Structure 1
Amino acid sequence: MNISIDVKETNRLVEVKVGGEIDAYTAPRLRETLFPLTEKESVTMIIDLSDVNYMDSTGLGVFVGVFKNIRSNNGQFQLRGLSDRLKRLFEITGLADIMDINSQIEGGI
C-alpha cells in the first residue's frame, strides 16, 4: 500500500499528481499534504488521478473535505485523469454532480 503525491504550487494554482492507492492507510498522508493548501483564498487546485489504481471511501472523504475547504475560500477544484472505475465511484456516490471531474481549467497539468 503506497501512494505518491507530487505538488507544484504557483501563485494561486496548485497542481497535484497522485499515484498508487488511496485507502485507509494512505489517505491520512494525502489529507496532511492537501489540507494546508486549501486554506488560501481563491486557490485553484487541480488533482491528476491518472496514476491511481485503487481508491476506497476513505479517499472519497479526503476529496470531499478538500473540495469543501476550497469552495469555502472561493477557490476552484478539479479532478482529472479518472479511470472509468474511479469515475464510476464518483458517479454512484453523487459526487460527480457537485465536483468538477471532466472540464478543463486553464493552465495546469
Structure 2
Amino acid sequence: MNISIETKEKDQLITVNISGEIDAYTAPKLRESLFQLAEKKESIIIINLSGVTYMDSTGLGVFVGVFKNIRSNNGQLKLLGLSSRLMRLFEITGLSTIMDISGQIEGEVS
C-alpha cells in the first residue's frame, strides 16, 4: 500500500497530485502533507485524485479535517479527478454538497 504526493506552489495557488491508495496505513502521511498546506492563509488548494485507486473512511476523515482547516484560514479546497467510486463515497457521506469536487481554476501551477 503506497501513496505518492506531489505538490507544486505558485503564490497562493497550490496543486497536489495524489496517486495510490488512501487508507489507515497511508492516511497519516497524507494528513501531514495536506495540513501543512492548509495552514497557509487564503490559499487555493487543488487536489487531483485521478491517480487514487482506493480510499476508505480514514481518507475521507483526512479530507474533512483539511477542508475545515483551509476554511478557517480563509482558503479554498477543490478536489478534481475523482473516479466514480470516489465520487460515490463523497456523495454517500454528504461531503459532495459542501466540498467543491468539480471546480477548476485558471492558472494551474506547472
TM-score by length of 1: 0.97
Tell me the equivalent position of 1:83.
83
Cα-to-partner distance string for 1:9-38 (whole Å, 9 max, x where unaligned): 111111000000000000000011110111
**Identity in percent:** 70
Tell me the equivalent position of 2:93.
93
Q: Distance in 1 between matches of 2:24 and 2:83?
A: 20
Q: Distance in 1 between matches of 2:93 and 2:108?
A: 27
Q: Distance in 2 between matches of 1:7 and 1:51?
A: 14
- Runs of at least 5 residues in structure 2 that lack an aligned partner in the other structure: none
Q: Distance in 2 between matches of 1:40 and 1:73?
A: 7
- Runs of at least 5 residues in structure 1 that lack an aligned partner in the other structure: none
1:66 and 2:60 correspond? no
SS of 2:19's equivalent? strand
Cα-to-partner distance string for 1:37-75 (whole Å, 9 max, x where unaligned): 111110000000000000000000000111111111111
Q: Distance in 2 between matches of 1:14 and 1:96?
A: 21
